[in-house]
Structure 1
């Protein structure tokens, strides 16, 4: 195994398609495909399955993705040892939503603090509406939030990560035999509805495109409650890969299956007020995220002065 394997694997996992990963890395599709096959042989595990969405991670793939990102991050840190004492300093007021703060941001805040010790990032956790108001009123410099929920025309945003949504089921569930479930079948199950970060509103938007409705047994703002309920066989839930973990707090396992209809991804990104003048500290933070995620759409951040 080498760093090439990991880079190609992470790019494919984050972009969801071999063609997009190849384009972002400026290499051939066959090189990406070959590297993934080699990696699967080395690990003796299937990391992806092909679907109508493109390349979808298996449970093993999701677990290996976290490890791969950590390895690549440490390599980047090692390369930057001589630059560890960054000359850029200053304070950034950063707002974040619950899901982003709990499952995305801490790793990156830790890296930023080590790479740029002069940077003081002051974080506030708020809901989307409060964050939008805060950006427009200049109470916050930047925000990291679910850009898939963002709609205010006075704000600009850049998506960093698209996280697929899948059906969570307890181990041994009947849906696992086929690896796919229809919305008709899901509607026959008890359903656990997550409400935080507008999750319930988003869910009902894609459910409304079907002829069925979820049989909601519990509405909760806790991802961990969803995880435990599913693992204990008390219902199923459709949630994103970003918040998926294969074990509940009680140590019980849960798994995921695809659905018969497309479900919109949960998109994470950065937002700022139209026309805001970026400080060196703000540019540093945005450039850090730009370098951390492989995506053609991030070749250039528009709107920065």
Structure 2
């Protein structure tokens, strides 16, 4: 398997994509923040099965981290990621140094028009907000997160110009935010979400798992176990959302987890279901074990 082409400049990435599109090929994009695990590689393999050419982006997006969050400690291993992507068959990897600043040399514009585009030192000002979907769940405790996600994904879409984009549904709210942004802004892109990929013991795969101590990792299994129990309970007839949330909270709390939220929400609009469940829902969890914040979810279709 040949190694993927690696691009750091936006203009070169765009030119490569346009060349392949001119050849009549379809492109799939898998956006990531690196430190790749099997869940990411499943996204890549799925992309390869659906499109002629697969591009993987690796960019730890500072726009989605608040000052108090773990940007500085986010794990990275670019050399290891490139080896994994080569084995998975990715065709290109886009790993820019910074997506929030551009210079005139990055744009095919000359003369007076180019002078208007020079960086005046004021920094990035343009943000995309998906106003309703970003408010609940993770948006309550991470108020800048989804504007950063939506903005950087829109930038990636504009640079790579894919036909398809593949995301994991572990980040369920993120997936719905991107789907809504694509619909509302008329991106000609099909967004595909894949089910949560789990370790053999049920823990949802995440780049942050490496930071869990052995003790905290064992305790973190309470998230998946509680979600599984809630789903079984609902399928057996328990339709009261309060009862399902209580079940999940109790199991996680007893394991020593610090709960950010446990919510039962509609799958499309992510609106809370306050009483009886009468539509497809997703039970979403965010909880910390030690200093590691984990998210997970389970869909319940009734």
TM-score (norm 1): 0.29
Specify which structure has the bigger relative contact order, considering alpha-carbon pairs within 8 angstroms and separated by 6 or more residues. Answer: 1
More helix by share: 1
More strand by share: 1
